[in-house]
């Protein structure tokens, strides 16, 4: 992959406050649909995605069918981005759909879980709801889903915001298998109280914030059931972990998204190292990069910095 990287001198950087913005304009490229390497969309079986719709109090007239589609990361759900979605709907006057990706939240479970099928699910959601020129916003797993969809079907997408992930193969943190181990222990224990589940999870997830995030997936399967279980199909996601760091596209010559793209990364995170920035520019030649003083959970750690970056990117330019 090193051979795909442009020299660091090709980057133009401008520092302002705690955020660094990088813009790497590429040559004028013909917009040609990408070729999905893992499978063609015609061969993919999609699932209908659960969602919440956040409507602005004062919608912009020409944005009725040009919404924002917000996608969470691994072990997340549409609930995670609820507050930010309401804020963006208010500030931009646009409808915001927060999705549950397959095998998460209220969306159906399916044994196949990779970026090809997740992107196909979102593409079908866009078509089914008659959405025109949506903005895709995705964090982590949702960011790669957004990138794959934009590269494969650019005509469906107006622009995208990728939060703390990059179009590269990268090994997932060893924390994720431990989280699944802990969640399995909770299911085996048949807990009835949140505090009990939290205590079981502590050795696997020391951070109270991470534990709260994971335990948000607990529910009681039926009204009369006192036992809490995870909504997530843990076995399916455990099998998928080895591939969730992968990116289906290996060669920027096969697919480019030549519309605006914003990449927001946490400076304390390792998901978007400096040496992949030129590769981002080859897949997304009109990209901008904003650095936020945060870890991987950029949106929850620094919501105002994230909001400001998105507003600058999406507000109409003079």
Task: Return the ∠ at Cα 110 (arms to 107 and 113), rounded to 5°.
Answer: 100
Annotation says 109 is catalytic: no
Q: Which of 77, 107, 140, 269 is catalytic?
A: 140
**For the chain, how long is the longest CA-to-CA vector?**
63
Q: Which of 115, 77, 83 is nearest to 96 (CA)?
A: 83
Residue 77 designated active-site: no
User: Considering 72, 95, 104, 296, which one is annotated as catalytic?
Assistant: 296
What residues are annotated to the active site? Answer: 140, 296
């Amino acid at each position: 992959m090193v051979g795909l990287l442009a020299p660091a001198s090709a980057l133009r950087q401008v520092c302002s406050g705690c955020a660094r913005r990088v813009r790497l304009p590429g040559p004028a490229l013909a917009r040609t649909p990408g070729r999905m390497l893992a499978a063609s969309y015609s061969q993919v079986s999609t699932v209908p995605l659960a969602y919440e719709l956040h409507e602005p109090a004062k919608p912009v007239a020409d944005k009725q069918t040009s919404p924002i589609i917000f996608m969470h990361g691994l072990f997340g759900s549409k609930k995670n981005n609820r507050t930010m979605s309401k804020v963006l709907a208010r500030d931009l006057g646009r409808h915001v759909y927060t999705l549950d990706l397959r095998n998460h939240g209220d969306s159906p479970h399916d044994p196949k879980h990779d970026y090809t099928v997740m992107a196909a699910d979102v593409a079908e959601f866009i078509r089914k709801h008659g959405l025109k020129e949506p903005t895709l916003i995705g964090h982590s797993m949702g960011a790669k889903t957004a990138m794959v969809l934009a590269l494969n079907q650019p005509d469906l997408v107006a622009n995208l915001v990728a939060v703390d992930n990059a179009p590269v193969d990268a090994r997932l943190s060893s924390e994720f298998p431990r989280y699944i181990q802990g969640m399995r222990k909770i299911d085996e224990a048949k807990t009835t109280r949140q505090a009990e589940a939290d205590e079981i999870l502590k050795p696997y997830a020391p951070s109270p914030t991470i534990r709260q995030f994971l335990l948000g997936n607990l529910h009681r399967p039926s009204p009369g059931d006192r036992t809490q279980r995870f909504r997530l199909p843990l076995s399916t996601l455990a099998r998928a972990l080895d591939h969730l760091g992968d990116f289906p596209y290996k060669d920027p010559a096969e697919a480019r998204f030549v519309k605006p793209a914003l990449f927001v990364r946490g400076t304390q995170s390792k998901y978007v190292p400096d040496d992949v920035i030129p590769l981002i520019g080859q897949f997304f030649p009109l990209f901008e990069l904003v650095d936020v003083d945060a870890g991987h959970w950029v949106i929850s750690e620094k919501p105002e910095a994230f909001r400001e970056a998105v507003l600058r990117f999406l507000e109409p330019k003079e």
